[in-house]
């Protein structure tokens, strides 16, 4: 693969805190390697800003391996940038060309208030998961992996749902800022397994209630969430969530 350097113009959202108004600021970065990751490019920019006695840009990152879900930002209007099934930290600068202008901004959702610059508060997701509570399993000595027979189709679907990293791209892509894809993945991966069955009904009811409380919008099945998800979580999980919620409501203890 051909390696090349480029000069870029960055239009980056700067905002001091949740309460203050933000705006875009322009920056020039030079001699950026096509083999850098997008976050490495931001590291270069921040080093330049610090050298010029200016405040660096705040952005979230941790693992830089596409696992933690923290590197959440719009890049030219698309969550995590132009590559499919990709997080921002996995995006490389070869996705752009010399002279490009790149617009970078934080998630835009009521439930994800901006903390500073490109960092948003995604603890609403944590509270939804916490509302799901626990699962009833015996602890102690580890049991044999095949002690509980599980149909392969269900096991595969559960593992696929459990791939969700909670980055919030689904919320950012949705015109309604819905969290249904995230919630459905969390509900599905336990609902499909026998270990998650005892609290199955209360879990889905409590998690949906918490999602509504956090201020996420409704799902209108546009499919934007699935299209932009870096882990390719299927919207089939949303259908499963709706079914789980309906059954829980119909069979609830009166």
At 81-140, the pLDDT tens digits run 999 999 999 999 999 999 999 999 999 999 999 999 999 999 999 999 999 988 776 666
Is there a single domain that holds both residue 32 and residue 139?
A: no
Whose tokens are 């270069």? That residue is: 44
Is there a single domain that holds both residue 164 and residue 234?
A: yes
Strand partners, 169: none
Is there a single domain that holds both residue 57 and residue 173?
A: no
Residue 139 has what pLDDT? Answer: 65
* Residue that terminates a domain, selected from 71, 92, 115: 115
User: What's the half-sphere exposure (Cβ side, CA atoms, 13 Å) at 213?
Assistant: 12
Q: How many domains would you assign to the chain?
A: 2
At 167-197, the pLDDT tens digits run 999 999 999 999 999 999 999 999 999 888 8
pLDDT band at 53 (very low <50, low <70, confident <90, very high): very high
Q: Which two tokens stand for residue 78?
A: 């698309």
Q: Which two tokens stand for residue 184?
A: 């459905």
Task: Give the CATH number of the domain where residue 16 resides.
Answer: 3.10.20.30
Whether the per-residue pLDDT at 146 is higher than 90: the answer is: no
Handedness of CA 224, 122, 213, 159 (dihedral sign): positive
Domain holding 9, by residue range, is 5-115
Task: Give the CATH number of the domain where residue 224 resides.
Answer: 1.10.1060.10
DSSP assignment of 200-253, as one string? HHHHHHHHHHHHHHHT-B------HHHHH-TT---THHHHHHHHHHHHHHHT--
* Residue that terminates a domain, selected from 91, 115, 139: 115
């Amino acid at each position: 693969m051909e390696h090349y350097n480029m000069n870029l113009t960055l239009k980056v959202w700067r905002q001091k805190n949740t309460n203050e108004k933000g705006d875009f600021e322009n920056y020039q970065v030079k001699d950026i390697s096509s083999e850098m990751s997008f976050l490495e490019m931001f590291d270069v920019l921040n080093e330049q800003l610090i050298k010029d006695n200016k405040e660096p840009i705040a952005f979230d990152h941790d693992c830089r391996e596409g696992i933690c879900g923290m590197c959440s930002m719009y890049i030219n209007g698309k969550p995590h940038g132009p590559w499919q099934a990709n997080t921002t930290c996995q995006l490389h600068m070869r996705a752009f060309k010399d002279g490009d202008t790149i617009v970078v901004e934080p998630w835009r959702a009521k439930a994800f208030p901006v903390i500073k610059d490109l960092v948003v508060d995604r603890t609403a997701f944590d509270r939804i998961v916490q509302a799901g509570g626990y699962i009833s399993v015996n602890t102690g000595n580890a049991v044999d992996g095949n002690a509980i027979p599980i149909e392969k189709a269900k096991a595969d679907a559960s593992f696929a749902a459990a791939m969700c990293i909670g980055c919030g791209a689904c919320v950012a892509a949705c015109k309604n800022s819905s969290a249904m894809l995230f919630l459905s993945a969390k509900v599905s991966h336990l609902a499909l397994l026998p270990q998650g069955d005892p609290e199955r009904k209360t879990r889905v009811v409590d998690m949906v209630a918490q999602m509504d409380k956090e201020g996420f919008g409704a799902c209108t099945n546009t499919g934007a969430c699935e299209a932009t998800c870096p882990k390719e979580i299927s919207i089939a999980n949303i259908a499963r969530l709706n079914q789980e919620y309906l059954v829980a409501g119909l069979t609830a203890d009166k």
